[in-house]
A and B are shown apart, each in its own frame.
Chain A
């Protein structure tokens, strides 16, 4: 499915589920997400992680709601399943979507300005450098007798200085590689957005609405 539409569908359903209180729809969404993840060969380890995490957090949430609140069993069931919907749908999306394809699709299909699309990508590729920089800063501080924690302003200060340097360098490099803000570009790879994507998008949304409507009645 087209990555931009898939993102829109995921976010829209997650938003609806946040307000609706129909546990049967939640369960249906969980089952569908699970089946789709299995079809797409998501690893067993990943599935286990995607199951244990919400299991722990929704259990504690439900436990505290029943202890500290006045929630009906039906409401608790809704909350319990809701977290699974979030995590499974999020898992389905991230496991079946290549970030680069998503960005290209957002640029081509959703008309996101190219400066945002490629600015994000340039920064995302720095992820390993950012992690290494944090380690270097902490080590440099320790050599001076200081321990930096996640609440130490100096840690953030130094990272931000490095980030400013990198963003200057990357912006210059992009300009040097011919990128001009707002200028038209061609696309070596086009991300298709075909009628089938729209049918699938509309069909899935319609099914959820029908489910919610009959569940609320």
Chain B
């Protein structure tokens, strides 16, 4: 049972003026489950990385475990003190298979080879994934990979377990299993757990403390305060007032016949007939990890699918890749995947060169930049923008391209309330003016009402249009 104490910690990103963590002091109680919350880009990951010793401390000894700084702990014992589970499931392993990764971690701790098999089997059994032991890590689903990552931490017997947005792309049943195991690690084994998530929903029955990170400082709430905060918190509700069943008058844009989506051997969407309608804005909702992004990748020919897909009546496999890419575009979930250049201006110029420059005149683009608070960043390097600024620039670039069909994968992710309002207004105006076909996946549910007129819900591996008949 280890108490994590942070004392007068100040941290500034390289090439930034304002510190992201500002004279921060907090004590995470030993043997308790704390939820670290705060806005995206507010420094949660940075704090966790500093605690885990992955980022060097700007001033030594500002973080201690039961009074000992990590540097005072022998290298072979550090992973037994603190370990981290990461947001991106697939890039946290060194070896090829589950058992080899567990061996690797235990070898690092200098565990006697004779004791290694026993520890591996016990850890896998604790998480309930003994059946995955000899599987290749890269062939596992994101949820399974997170389970393996937790099993490794269990095998290493780490006192402090840090988790950085671990459920970002994880299906609800797996999330539930992981939370149950985490609580068991707290109560049965006295582990200290700090989990970072920007979203409070679905944690009230699991965590002991809420730790709120705001403007560089952390406030730890007591158990009572935490429960009060959860009681006062209502998860966002989806409110769509214009949604109806698609009417027969609509034009079909993309059409799937017996369209099915699988990832490896796992079926995500059962084969079904599915139409997407032209000049309309469609919202797709569904649980994390249910296959929405995979569906989008299939629609732009970046992933395999079962059945056939047609665009304006032609099988998309028969269209030239170049032409199809200009007609059906995807705004990727990760903003940086979209960019090809270095500065904001270069990126916008590229879009205007090949996109709809008649509508997106230089004046209009300048006006949109001002609305998005990006006008002062024209010459800035994209990779030094905040994640929210990158997201807004990405949206603008894809809107300027104005493809007939624009798929938007979480276009509002990580944006603050004011930005969401602006972005939605821009999207709505462009959609009406240019008669774009928009298909959007979003977990951010507020502010969508003006735009969305069709709503597909993915449940039990099946997509269904919601709403009453028109």
- Touch test A–B (CB under 8 Å): yes
**Residues in A lying within 8 Å of B, measured CB to CB:** 100, 118, 121-122, 125-126, 128-129, 135-137, 139-147, 154, 158, 161, 166, 169-170, 172-180, 183-190
**B8 smallest CB distance to A (angstroms):** 25
**B195 smallest CB distance to A (angstroms):** 15
Tell me if B93 is interfacial: C-beta within 8 Å of chain A: yes
Contact bitstring B110-142, A, C-beta under 8 A = 1, else 0: 111100110000000000000000000110000
What residues of A have a CB within 8 angstroms of the CB of B457 in the complex? none
Centre residue among B108, B112, B336, B397 by max chain A CB count within 10 A: B108
Are A186 and B91 in contact, with the CB atoms below 8 A?
Answer: no
Cα of A139 to Cα of B9 in the assembled complex, Å: 43
Are B351 and A177 in contact, with the CB atoms below 8 A?
Answer: no
Cα of A147 to Cα of B320 in the assembled complex, Å: 13
Which B279-302 residues have C-beta < 8 A from chain A? 300-302
Tell me if B321 is interfacial: C-beta within 8 Å of chain A: yes
Are B83 and A176 in contact, with the CB atoms below 8 A?
Answer: yes
Which residue of A137, A158, A166, A188 contacts B103 across the interface (Cβ within 8 Å)?
A188
Cα of A126 to Cα of B332 in the assembled complex, Å: 21
**B146 smallest CB distance to A (angstroms):** 13
Which residue of B100, B325, B337 contacts A136 across the interface (Cβ within 8 Å)?
B337
Tell me if B383 is interfacial: C-beta within 8 Å of chain A: yes
Are A179 and B340 in contact, with the CB atoms below 8 A?
Answer: no
What residues of B have a CB within 8 angstroms of the CB of A126 in the complex? 91
Cα of A180 to Cα of B53 in the assembled complex, Å: 12
Tell me if B57 is interfacial: C-beta within 8 Å of chain A: no
Can you sample 24 A-B contacts with CB below 8 Å? A125-B93, A125-B137, A126-B91, A129-B90, A129-B138, A135-B302, A140-B338, A140-B340, A142-B322, A142-B326, A145-B353, A146-B350, A172-B84, A173-B91, A175-B52, A176-B83, A176-B86, A177-B94, A180-B76, A180-B108, A186-B112, A188-B107, A188-B117, A189-B113
Are B94 and A121 in contact, with the CB atoms below 8 A?
Answer: yes
Are B93 and A173 in contact, with the CB atoms below 8 A?
Answer: yes
Are B108 and A177 in contact, with the CB atoms below 8 A?
Answer: yes
Decide yes or no: A183 and B337 within 8 Å by CB, A125-B137, A169-B92 being known contacts.
no
Decide yes or no: A139 and B302 within 8 Å by CB, A125-B95, A161-B383, A177-B83 being known contacts.
yes
Which residue of B75, B86, B116, B351 contacts A172 across the interface (Cβ within 8 Å)?
B86
Q: Count B interface residues, CB 8 Å.
A: 64
Contact bitstring B269-280, A, C-beta under 8 A = 1, else 0: 000000000000
What residues of B have a CB within 8 angstroms of the CB of A129 in the complex? 90-91, 138
Decide yes or no: A143 and B110 within 8 Å by CB, A176-B79, A183-B76 being known contacts.
no
**A193 smallest CB distance to B (angstroms):** 17
Centre residue among A178, A185, A186, A188 by max chain B CB count within 10 A: A178
Contact bitstring B74-86, A, C-beta under 8 A = 1, else 0: 0110111001101
Are B75 and A183 in contact, with the CB atoms below 8 A?
Answer: yes
**Given known contacts A173-B91, A177-B101, A180-B78, what 8 new A-B pairs fall within 8 Å (CB)?**
A125-B94, A129-B90, A143-B325, A143-B330, A143-B398, A169-B88, A180-B75, A186-B112
Are A128 and B351 in contact, with the CB atoms below 8 A?
Answer: no
Cα of A211 to Cα of B149 in the assembled complex, Å: 54
